[in-house]
């Protein structure tokens, strides 16, 4: 007989905390801790509420210590404690838990030590899917990005040396050394243009114009590389999700991998809540639907029919009359695969066996609806 659990809610919270993603409590702790850390730097506000600020900061610190200990213990029990301890997530958890107390023990000023709380924000990084996607894009596009970075640095140092040579005699305070000219090159190449130091010789201004144009080109290249990488990564994720949905539909079970890949490129997914109207009777039809998960209800004259996973509907408007013949709504949370009219005709031309199946089903339903 198993021993009854004394604190099931606490055990569930500990299990969630030991997981990879952050809990809602952790997000609240990060938000509260960073807000209090900022308030700590506003002297009038801190003087008026220092008891509350200190209490919230220590509560957040205690939570992060607890979270780190729970995850470390969970990893040790799973026999991968060292792996977790030296991983990026483990090091971040350890820093969040120990950095501030360690700084206070070493005698740092409390206001300065609590500024380390700004690193608590990095704990939200593993839980944001978009940031993981950005990391994959940076890894995959590292070669082109590094090439543009090398070009950026070459222009930066070349411009610094040239402007130093042209402006050092007329502006020794601003361009008296290459490091001093490097500040101007950074501000100009990034098109920031603070205006604190500017060339005044004709050749110096010509170099400045060239540097500004190069800056626009460099950042345009970086933007294009990242945008292309994000688009490719998004298409990859969508393809994998659609592939999984297509593979669960019995209608496509007889297709080979190449044919399923062909179908996957044509279909788009649609997640709908319950009681959502998908098709309205009398509307023009330009697509058909496959049910990957869930259920829909077809409202026919005098009866209602329910279609489950693996079924399809909306094909009759694509094969003959382009007007919808019935109202169709979801009965529960459903995932649909949508095939547009143009793609439908291409798919039927490439796979005659599918065309025959859809045509036979359409004729059967037409007879039932009479």
Beta-sheet strand order (sheet of 303-307): 277-279, 327-330, 296-300, 303-307
Local confidence band at 158 (pLDDT 50, 70, 90 cut-offs): very high
pLDDT tens digit sequence for 334-344: 888 888 878 87
The first and second tokens of residue 213, run together, are 């144009």
Which range, 199-213, 262-276, 291-305, has the best average confidence (pLDDT)? 199-213
Confidence check: pLDDT of 304 > 90: no
Those residues whose C-beta lies under 8 Å from the C-beta of residue 290, and which sit 6 or more positions away, are 249, 251, 252, 267, 310, 311, 312, 336, 337, 339
Strands, E assignment, the chain? 268-272, 277-279, 287-293, 296-300, 303-307, 312-313, 327-330, 334-340
Mean pLDDT for the stretch of residues 310-328: 77
3 has pLDDT over 60: no
User: Cβ distance 159 to 211 under 8 Å?
Assistant: yes
DSSP state of 3: P
What is the CATH superfamily name and number for domain 251-369? Jelly Rolls (2.60.120.10)
pLDDT at 366: 66
Which of 316, 320, 265, 325 lies closest to 289, judged by CA? Answer: 316
Candidates 1.10.1040.10, 1.10.287.70, 3.40.640.10, 1.10.10.10; correct CATH number of 142-233? 1.10.287.70
Please give the residue that has the higher pLDDT: either 192 or 224. 224
Residue 6 pLDDT: 46
pLDDT(224) > 50: yes
Helices first, then strands: H and E counts in the chain: 15, 8
Whole-number pLDDT of residue 292: 82
Do strands 287-293 and 312-313 pair parallel, antiparallel, or not at all (unpaired)?
A: antiparallel
Range of weakest confidence among 11-25, 27-41, 47-61, 294-308: 11-25
Residue 11 has pLDDT above 80, yes or no: no
Give the gyration radius of the chain's Cα atoms.
31
> How high is the pLDDT of residue 4?
47
Domain map of the chain by residue range? Answer: 8-127, 142-233, 251-369
Confidence at residue 2, expressed as pLDDT on a 0 to 100 scale: 45
What 3-state DSSP class applies to 270?
A: strand
181 close to 163: Cβ distance less than 8 angstroms: yes
Same fold, 142-233 and 251-369: no
Q: Over range 82-107, report the average pLDDT.
A: 88
Give first-to-last CA distance, the chain, whole Å: 62
Does the pLDDT value for residue 15 go beyond 90? no
**50-62 exposure pattern, b = at least 16 Cβ within 10 A, e = fewer:** eeebeebbeebbe
Convert the pLDDT of each residue in 34-91 to its tens digit.
899 888 888 888 888 888 988 999 999 999 998 888 888 888 888 887 888 888 888 8
Please answer whether residues 7 and 57 qualify as being in contact, where contact means their C-beta atoms are separated by less than 8 angstroms.
no
123-137, 152-166, 197-211: which range is least confident on average?
123-137
CB neighbours of residue 268 within 10 Å: 15
Predicted pLDDT of residue 100: 92
Checking if the pLDDT of 255 tops 70, the result is no
Sign of the four-CA dihedral 280, 281, 285, 289 = positive
Residue-level pLDDT at 351: 73
Other Cβ atoms within 10 Å of 16 Cβ, number: 15
pTM over 0.85: no
What are the CA-CA distances from residue 299 to residues 276, 320, 321, 324, 331 (Å)?
13, 20, 18, 12, 12
Asked if pLDDT for residue 155 goes beyond 60, the answer is: yes
161 pLDDT more than 90: yes
Q: What is the pLDDT of residue 146?
A: 93
Who wins on pLDDT, 324 or 247?
324
Does the pLDDT of residue 293 top 60, yes or no?
yes
Question: Mean pLDDT in the chain?
Answer: 82
SS3 assignment for 272-316: ECCCCEEECCCCECCEEEEEEECCEEEEECCEEEEECCCCEECCH
Reported as a pLDDT band with limits 50, 70 and 90, residue 128 is confident
Per-residue pLDDT, averaged over 185-196, amounts to 81
Percent of the chain beyond pLDDT 70?
A: 85
Residues of the chain with pLDDT > 90, as a percent, come to 14
Lowest mean pLDDT among 108-112, 242-246, 298-302: 242-246
């Amino acid at each position: 007989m198993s021993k009854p659990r004394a604190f099931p809610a606490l055990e569930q919270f500990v299990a969630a905390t030991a997981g990879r993603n952050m809990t809602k409590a952790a997000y609240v702790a990060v938000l509260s801790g960073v807000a209090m850390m900022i308030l700590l730097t506003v002297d009038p506000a801190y003087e008026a509420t220092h008891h509350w600020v200190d209490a919230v900061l220590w509560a957040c610190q205690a939570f992060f210590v607890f979270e780190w200990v729970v995850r470390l213990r969970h990893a040790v029990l799973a026999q991968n404690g060292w792996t977790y301890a030296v991983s990026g997530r483990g090091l971040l958890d350890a820093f969040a838990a120990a950095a501030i107390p360690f700084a206070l023990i070493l005698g740092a000023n409390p206001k300065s030590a609590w500024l380390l709380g700004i690193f608590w924000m990095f704990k939200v990084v593993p839980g944001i899917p978009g940031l993981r996607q950005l990391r994959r894009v940076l890894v995959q596009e590292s070669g082109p990005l590094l090439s543009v970075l090398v070009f950026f640095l070459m222009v930066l140092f070349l411009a610094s040396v040239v402007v130093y040579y042209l402006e050092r005699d007329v502006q020794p305070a601003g361009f008296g050394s290459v490091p001093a000219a490097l500040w101007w090159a950074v501000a100009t190449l990034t098109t920031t243009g603070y205006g604190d130091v500017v060339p005044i010789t004709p050749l110096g201004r010509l170099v400045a114009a060239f540097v500004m144009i190069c800056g626009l080109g460099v950042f345009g290249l970086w933007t294009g590389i990242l945008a292309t990488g994000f688009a490719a990564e998004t298409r990859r994720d969508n393809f994998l999700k659609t592939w999984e949905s297509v593979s669960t539909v019995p209608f496509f079970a007889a297709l080979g991998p190449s044919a399923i890949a062909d179908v996957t490129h044509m279909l788009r997914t649609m997640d709908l809540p319950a009681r959502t109207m998908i098709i309205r009777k009398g509307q023009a039809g330009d697509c058909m639907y496959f049910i990957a998960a869930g259920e829909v209800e077809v409202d026919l004259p005098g009866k209602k029919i329910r279609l489950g996973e693996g079924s399809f509907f909306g094909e009759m408007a694509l094969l003959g009359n382009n007007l919808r013949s019935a109202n169709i709504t979801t009965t529960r949370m459903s995932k649909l695969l949508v095939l547009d009219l143009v793609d439908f005709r291409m798919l039927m031309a490439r796979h005659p066996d599918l065309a025959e199946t859809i045509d036979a089903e359409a004729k059967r339903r037409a007879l039932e609806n009479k």
